[in-house]
Structure 1
Amino acid sequence: MKCGKLPNDVLEDIVISSIKKKNKDIFVGPKVGEDCSIVDFDNEVLVLTTDPVTAAQNDAGKIGIHICCNDIASAGVSPLGVLVTILAPPSSTIDDIKRIMNEINETCEELNIDVLGGHTEVTDAVNRIVLSITAIGKSRGKRYVTTGGAKTGDDVIITGNVAAEGTAIIAKDYYEKLKVKINEEILLKAQNLIKDISVVKAGLIAGEFGVNAMHDATEGGVLGAIWEVAQSSGKGVYVYEDKIAIKEETKIICDTLNLDPLRLISSGCMIITCKNGEELIKRLNEHKIEACIAGKITDEEKIILSKGEEKELSPPDSDEIYRVNI
């Protein structure tokens, strides 16, 4: 099988279809594209998510905390804390564990969340350090947003920098090999994009504004995330590809490595659907969050990508980051 997330059709057939709901307190359970589970807790709901970090060799602690807290924020809810599991191969050192914990603690401090517990183990079952992180949040008044809530006629909004996470990972993990092909200043700018992978603020603003769907763009990039929003919602979407802004450093790295930036892992981008998209963008801009309208939700269950010519958008495949070969 290919590296990366299971294809959505396999995930649905083999994993999700085998899971049976047993408790009425589960408002939102496992579904293709859904970022979080939602559990009823009397006057509030508990929001939970979990993710591994496997593609990054550097900044894994920072990336792991952000991607899980981004999931919580995609429900329009503030993250409260995380549980962290660290699996380290025998070749790891105490300094490796210390570095990752420093990254985790610093990022939790930035987001004002707690490390609630976890597990740390040395095992020959992995050949490099693997993190598995679970994040939780809660919403008073049972207010939350799902991936599958898009409505016909909604504007599709993308916040943040497309492929920021993938660009930063590649620029850092492959720096020595890339610097013979790409200007070092460009590579350093690309590495700095790792500072822009949180969408917590954007998610909370959008949740307060009142939106129909939210989904943070991770593996599969922004096009994969848009596909998942439409699929989860039973809708189609018309995507304005030429309106999706891409940073110059991302373009250069992707062109050099023959990668598609729109399908490169993109923590730092939130996909949002709502009425009055321009009003939400104004609200986001007031908080110095970049955003653009990149599409429109349709009744027809088809995703159309338009840039000069129209073509149907395929489901997300293995992320472009797994195609890097230098």
Structure 2
Amino acid sequence: MKVGKLTTEQLKKLVFSTLNKKRKEVLIRPNIGEDCAVVDFGEYVCVMSTDPITGTAEEIGKLAIHITCNDIASSGVEPIGIMLTIMAPKGTKEEEIKKIMEDASNEADKLNVDIIGGHTEITSAVNRIVISSTGIGKQLKRNILNKNIPREGDVIVLTKGAGIEGTGIICFEKEDELKNLYGEKIINEGKSLLDKISVVKEGIIAGKIGVSCMHDVTEGGVLGAIWEMCTLYNLGCVIYEDKIKINNSTSVVCNHFNINPLRLISSGSMIIGVDKCKLNKLKCEFEKENIEFCIIGEFNRCNKKVLISSEFEEEIVPPESDELYKVI
């Protein structure tokens, strides 16, 4: 099996096929493109998501908070709490654990989220620090059950751009190699992209407006997230490559390592489907909050998911191992 998250077919065959649906309280269950589980608690529901950080040892405490809060925000819900599990290899120093927790706590404070529990241990089962984080949010049940779904003609919006997280990670992990060739300015720009990896603000704004759907961009990049979203809602799409924002540092990094920025992990970016009648309101709110965004395509009822560039037209295929793992 390849490094990275399982393919769609592997998930269906090895994971989803083993799950039994027993509890009526579970309103939303695992599915391709589904970021969160939702559990019924009467008037309210509990929205939950979990994710690991395995692709880097740099900024790991910061990343652990944001990747899970981003999943919660993709449901239009404000995250409340985070539980962290830290697995560290033998030889890990106390100051390393303290630094991770200080970074995680600082980021949690920025998002008004509490770290409410978890587990920390030193183990020979890993050869680098691995963190798994579980996020919890609360929402009125009627807002979840009456949630909009995307339809033909809905516009597809991308916040911030492609390859945000992957660029930052690579600039930390391959700093010396890249700095010698491209200079300190490009590397610092790439590292600074990790300051943009939260999508909580745009998720809450879009949730209040009542957009059709949201999906944060993680492993598999922008194209992987679009494919998953289309699969979840049984829709096709047309995506225009020249409309997708790619930061200068991302272009430099991806050209150097010969990787595709549209298939590079990109926490910090959110794919949003929105009815055209609500698009201007979304744009106004994003501009008011200085949230970068670009309109990259629209959904349709065709079976095909198509990427159009100035030179070619190609079908968007299911996500495989993220481009990050070709570098790290």
Answer whether TM exceeds 0.5 for this pair.
yes
Secondary structure of the 2:125 match is coil
Q: CA deviation at 1:212?
A: 1.2
> What is residue 154 of structure 1 aligned with on the other side?
154
Q: TM-score, normalised by structure 1?
A: 0.97
CA distance in 1, matches of 2:225, 2:161: 14
Q: CA deviation at 1:145?
A: 8.7
Task: Find the partner of 1:324 among 320, 323, 327.
Answer: 327
> What is residue 288 of structure 2 aligned with on the other side?
286
CA distance in 1, matches of 2:160, 2:45: 28
Give the alignment of 1:128-277 within 5 angstroms: 128-144=128-144, 149-276=149-276, 277=279
> What is residue 298 of structure 1 aligned with on the other side?
300
Give the alignment of 1:103-118 within 5 angstroms: 103-118=103-118
Q: How far does the alpha carbon of each residue in 1:221-262 deviate from its partner, in whole angstroms, 9 at most, with x for none?
A: 111001110000011111111101111111011111111111
Kept after mapping to 1: 8 A contact 2:237/2:304: yes
Structure 2 portions without partners, runs of 5+: none
Secondary structure of the 1:45 match is strand
Q: CA deviation at 1:183?
A: 1.5
Give the alignment of 1:54-93 within 5 angstroms: 54-93=54-93
10-19 or 314-323: which moved more? 10-19
Alpha carbons of structure 1 residues 148 and 182: separation in structure 2 relative to 1, 3 Å: farther
Aligned pairs, how many?
325
**Structure 1 residue runs of 4 or more that deviate by more than 4 Å after TM superposition:** 145-148
CA distance in 2, matches of 1:319, 1:147: 30
Alpha carbons of structure 1 residues 102 and 63: separation in structure 2 relative to 1, 3 Å: same
Q: How far does the alpha carbon of each residue in 1:6-51 deviate from its partner, in whole angstroms, 9 at most, with x for none?
A: 0111111110121111011111001111100011111111100000
CA distance in 2, matches of 1:29, 1:202: 24
Q: TM-score, normalised by structure 2?
A: 0.96
Alpha carbons of structure 1 residues 76 and 146: separation in structure 2 relative to 1, 3 Å: farther
Secondary structure of the 1:48 match is strand
CA distance in 2, matches of 1:28, 1:149: 14
Kept after mapping to 1: 8 A contact 2:161/2:244: no
Q: Report the residue type matching 1:315 in the other structure.
A: P
Secondary structure of the 1:32 match is coil
Structure 1 portions without partners, runs of 5+: none
CA distance in 2, matches of 1:16, 1:247: 36
Q: Report the residue type matching 1:194 in the other structure.
A: L
RMSD in angstroms over aligned alpha carbons? Answer: 1.5
> What is residue 52 of structure 1 aligned with on the other side?
52
